Amino acid sequence: MSGETMSITTSDGAFAAYVARPQAPTAPAIVVIQEIFGVNQVMRDIADDLAAKGYLAVCPDLFWRIEPGIDITDHTEAEWKKAFELYNAFDVDKGVADIAATIAAVRSLPACSGNVGAVGYCLGGLLVFLTATRTDADASVAYYGVGVEKFTAEAEKLQHPLLMHIAEADQFVPKAAQEVILAALKDHPEIEIHTYLGRDHAFARKGGEHYDAADAETANRRTLDFFRKTIG
């Protein structure tokens, strides 16, 4: 297992992605979709962990159109300010197009055995929901996606399995939004939803203010079981 970078080319330009390789020469792949802090240590650690579990993990720099190479934390007020500036400047549709380009690039790698999943957190949780509805990803997992309630109608396009983790006390996804999401999606045949009572946003982010080790472990175990079942 080693961390490296690859370049992904689109009609608008090229961007970098962090790559973590498993020990096996070929493996199913998972595209890791960032929070609002860029491809930082948290995201690289997630990719490394997936690689240790046998997956080819690729984390693309989705802020490249605004500012390439963002790598900040959630530890200072200045970094939070920067993160929200990036979030507000981010073009969701172009971000999903960049994820589609990443999936295509990953599928073409000799190290990819064929199946490609996606997992996203926070902003990435929304992006992975849209990845599930707009791309050919074989399976997708959304952690506490922000803004999903605005896009629930897109679920009619969903053709591959989607697992969603919802933080019941999420400060960025209020109860009204959660009700919209659950009412629209809970009976969809391709969607599995788990709600974590009392948990706030980013409860699975190690080192974060709202990290909960027990529920993070539960969510991550469900994610791994889901990927084992859907992409191998």
- 3-230 — its CATH code? 3.40.50.1820
3-10 vs 13-20, strand pairing mode: antiparallel
Per DSSP, the residues of 11-45 read TTEEEEEEEE--SSSSEEEEEEE--TTBS-HHHHH
224 has a pLDDT exceeding 70: yes
SS3 121: strand
- Which pTM was predicted? 0.97
State the pLDDT at residue 1: 46
| Region 134-148 average pLDDT | 98
H and E: helices and strands count for the chain: 6, 8
> Which are the catalytic amino acids?
170, 201
Cα separation, 114 vs 91, in Å, equals 29
- Nearest to 120, CA basis, from 130, 135, 112: 130
| Region 13-22 average pLDDT | 97
- Nearest to 210, CA basis, from 163, 164, 171: 171
Q: Is 182 exposed, middle or buried (0-12, 13-18, 19+ CB in 10 A)?
A: middle
Instruction: Give the tens place of pLDDT for each residue, 89-140.
Output: 999 999 999 999 999 999 999 999 999 999 999 999 999 999 999 999 999 9
List of E strands, the chain? 3-10, 13-20, 27-33, 56-60, 112-121, 139-143, 162-167, 191-196
Q: How confident is the model at residue 227 (pLDDT cuts 50, 70, 90)?
A: very high
Instruction: Give the tens place of pLDDT for each residue, 32-87.
Output: 999 999 999 999 999 999 999 999 999 999 999 999 999 999 999 999 999 999 99
Instruction: Give the tens place of pLDDT for each residue, 154-192.
Output: 999 999 999 999 999 999 999 999 999 999 999 999 999
Two structure tokens written together for 187: 């009976």
State the pLDDT at residue 2: 54
- Nearest to 151, CA basis, from 175, 181, 124, 173: 181
| Region 211-218 average pLDDT | 98
State the pLDDT at residue 215: 98
Average pLDDT over all residues of the chain: 96
Percent of the chain with pLDDT over 70: 99
Percent of the chain with pLDDT over 90: 98
